[in-house]
A and B are shown apart, each in its own frame.
Chain A
């Protein structure tokens, strides 16, 4: 794994914080892709950060930012990541609050945001694909495929992400590959 500099961590989280629309899941998808591309985080570290973030109160993606950056650079990294991911985005949200009524009539802004959200959708599917690919091989594919398919389908019957993560953890605990 490559150990990044603090400025690189700050730059990545700041950039993701202001360019990814659509909520926490697309943000995690983009971060996962960038960690993978830069060789910053192992799949195990990503999984722990992702799973624990779901168990942390508040906005899950911020806990994920703190955890993933903690793996990279410890507490300083965690604080830097959370600040970089939230301060510029918060300034933007205050501005949007001010101009909200105006922006509802501004069709160009809506068209651009919709296009970026469409890209976020593609990114989420791509990131999910990359995650599963790191966990499967010719001989070990059944458990990853079963769990991924289950986690994909269960939200549609009303099970919360937190419960799905806990159920997956239980399956993993009892279904250990030889």
Chain B
């Protein structure tokens, strides 16, 4: 398939969604049902690859591009994934000095608290997926303590957890 068309199809999906997998119905409609470029099984593989790897879940769009058009397709998918992100810049410019107004600050601080609550609630399904015994629970507690009460670099928290997972598997 033409790379420009591939990019346009993928960017249509990313521009019309507001979170990682919300673009999935549009992608399935175009790639599986309309143009028959992918099968449902390939779509599942792409979603799984996006979830297994690091980074956002929305990165599965790169995998879709790869399955539809090889490495150039993956590049088109990557471009489609990052394009909408830059729409935030004009919004920030518009906000500019207006953000310093007393009421605007109250709004941003409320959004910040909502962000904290959402972060906590997003942790619940992830925790359900991985906490199956005392070891992951200990990792969660230790990570929380290190992040909240020390200034240790979060890289070491992640690498430490990976090492513990590796060691526990070997034992």
Q: How far is the CA of A44 from the CA of B95 in the complex (A)?
A: 12
- Report which residue of B102, B113, B126 has the largest number of chain A beta carbons within 10 angstroms of its beta carbon: B113
In the complex, chain B residues 116-142 whose Cβ is within 8 Å of any chain A Cβ: 116-123, 126-127, 129-131, 135-137, 139-142
State whether the Cβ of A6 lies closer than 8 Å to any Cβ in chain B: no
Main secondary structure on B side of the interface with A: helix
* Residues of B in contact, count (CB < 8 Å): 97
Q: Is the CB of B56 within 8 A of A23?
A: yes
A50 in the interface (beta carbon within 8 A) = yes
**Residue B8 CB within 8 A of the other chain:** no
What separation, in Å, do the CA atoms of A33 and B146 have in the docked complex? 11
Cβ of B109 < 8 Å from any Cβ of A? yes
Contact count band on A: 35 or more
* Inter-subunit contact A130/B148 (CB<8 Å): yes
Judge whether A47 and B82 touch: CB under 8 Å: no
- Whether A92 contacts B118 by the Cβ 8 Å rule is no
B residues near A25, Cβ cutoff 8 Å: 118-119, 122-123, 126
| Contact of A151 with B114 in the complex, beta carbons under 8 Å | yes
B14-35 interface (Cβ within 8 A of A):
14-20
A122:B154 contact, CB within 8 angstroms: no
CA–CA, A117 and B137, complex, Å: 11
Contact present for A53 and B88 (CB under 8 Å): yes
Which residues of chain A come closer than 8 Å to B18, judged between CB atoms?
A: 54-58, 60, 162
Asked whether A155 lies within 8 Å of B118 as measured between CB atoms, the reply is yes
Closest-CB distance, B137 to chain A (whole angstroms): 8
Residues in A whose Cβ lies below 8 Å from that of B46: 97
| B161 and A51 contact, CB distance less than 8 A | no
Q: Cβ of A121 and Cβ of B127 under 8 Å apart?
A: yes
Instruction: Decide: A119 and B160 in contact? CB cutoff 8 A.
Output: yes
B87 contacts A172, C-beta separation under 8 Å:
no
Could you give, for residues 1-38 of chain A, a 1 whenever the CB lies within 8 Å of some chain B CB and a 0 otherwise? 00000000000000101111111111111100110010
Contact A103 B54 (CB under 8 A): no
Chain B nearest CB: distance from A169 CB in Å?
5
In the complex, the answer to whether B81 meets A78 with C-beta atoms within 8 Å is no
Cβ of A23: which chain B residues have Cβ within 8 Å of it? Answer: 20, 51, 56-57, 122, 126
Check A86 against B122 for contact (C-beta < 8 Å): no
Say yes or no: A93-B166 contact (C-beta < 8 A), given A65-B85, A100-B49.
no
Using a CB–CB cutoff of 8 Å, the interface residues on chain A facing chain B are 15, 17-30, 33-34, 37, 43-44, 46-63, 65-67, 70-71, 75, 78-79, 82-83, 85-87, 89-90, 92-94, 96-97, 100-101, 103, 107-108, 111-132, 134-135, 143-144, 147-156, 161-162, 164-165, 167-169, 171-173, 175-177
**Beyond known contacts A82-B82, A125-B144: 17 more, CB 8 A cutoff:** A19-B158, A23-B20, A30-B158, A44-B99, A47-B109, A48-B92, A71-B92, A78-B86, A85-B55, A90-B55, A90-B74, A93-B50, A100-B45, A108-B166, A111-B168, A115-B136, A154-B117
